[in-house]
Structure 1
């Protein structure tokens, strides 16, 4: 994973409106297999290329929550960082993520 700042903690007093942090990651076959194991979601659209070719996706795709989970990495490692826990998110999956795709996750402070 590559990101724009070292990991650590930003104290609430130092957080400013518009502050932003990000990371990007190439989603690998191993990431998908590990997520299937941990989540117990073994849907063949994620794991079986032959099966997935016959779906609307025309090939394997990553679990949506695998990619959405990168938001947690930005919050928990960068902004605000260690010790933080976020309580919710609202998201929409706009396109499938396939093995080998680069995913970009960005968090921006919109309210304090």
Structure 2
């Protein structure tokens, strides 16, 4: 299930304070398995029901970086979009994402340095309206001057 803005690029010349973009992603068992395979993070809290049941989460959870990857998807595909270069990211994990959850991931422009093409973005992920991740990203936005 996806509920997203169109993909593409918003150049630094067109970025405005307060702009937001988002996506929604239903996290499946397959997503978690594929992330474990690609990342090589096979922590059983993500993959083993019996093991995970005996943890503080009382069940399996998605990798935190899978959730953070949804922020990366919004930045790389929507705002600023294609051609964006990550410069830094802070993350604070506030709650688990479980198989079957739908994550809402949003970025909001909170700072712009046109001369350097730097954009600062507040980052947020929620599940059922509850914050599961917050942070801030700093990126180098694409420019029409370099097309």
TM-score by length of 1: 0.96
Mind listing any 5+ residue stretches in structure 1 that lack a counterpart? none
Residue 75 of structure 1 contacts residue 85 of structure 1 at CA under 8 Å; is this kept in 2?
no
Which structure 2 residues correspond to residues 2-17 of structure 1 after superposition, within 5 A? Answer: 2-3=3-4, 5-17=5-17
- What do residues 20-77 of structure 1 show as CA deviations (whole Å, max 9, x unaligned)? 1000101100000000000000000000001100111100000000001101100100
How many residues align structurally? 111
- Aligned residue number for residue 50 of structure 1: 50
Q: Give 1 or 2: higher strand fraction.
A: 2
Question: 1:89 Cα shift?
Answer: 1.3
Task: Give me the CA root mean square deviation.
Answer: 0.7
Residue 6 of structure 1 contacts residue 78 of structure 1 at CA under 8 Å; is this kept in 2?
yes
Q: Give 1 or 2: higher helix fraction.
A: 1
Separation (CA, whole Å) in 2 of partners of 1:103 and 1:6: 18
TM-score by length of 2: 0.74
Residue 22 of structure 1 contacts residue 104 of structure 1 at CA under 8 Å; is this kept in 2?
yes
Question: Any runs of at least 4 consecutive aligned residues in structure 1 with deviations exceeding 6 A, and if so which?
Answer: none
- Aligned residue number for residue 94 of structure 1: 94
Q: Secondary structure at the match of 1:50?
A: helix
- Aligned residue number for residue 74 of structure 1: 74
Residue 8 of structure 1 contacts residue 82 of structure 1 at CA under 8 Å; is this kept in 2?
yes
Separation (CA, whole Å) in 2 of partners of 1:12 and 1:97: 33
Mind listing any 5+ residue stretches in structure 2 that lack a counterpart? 113-147
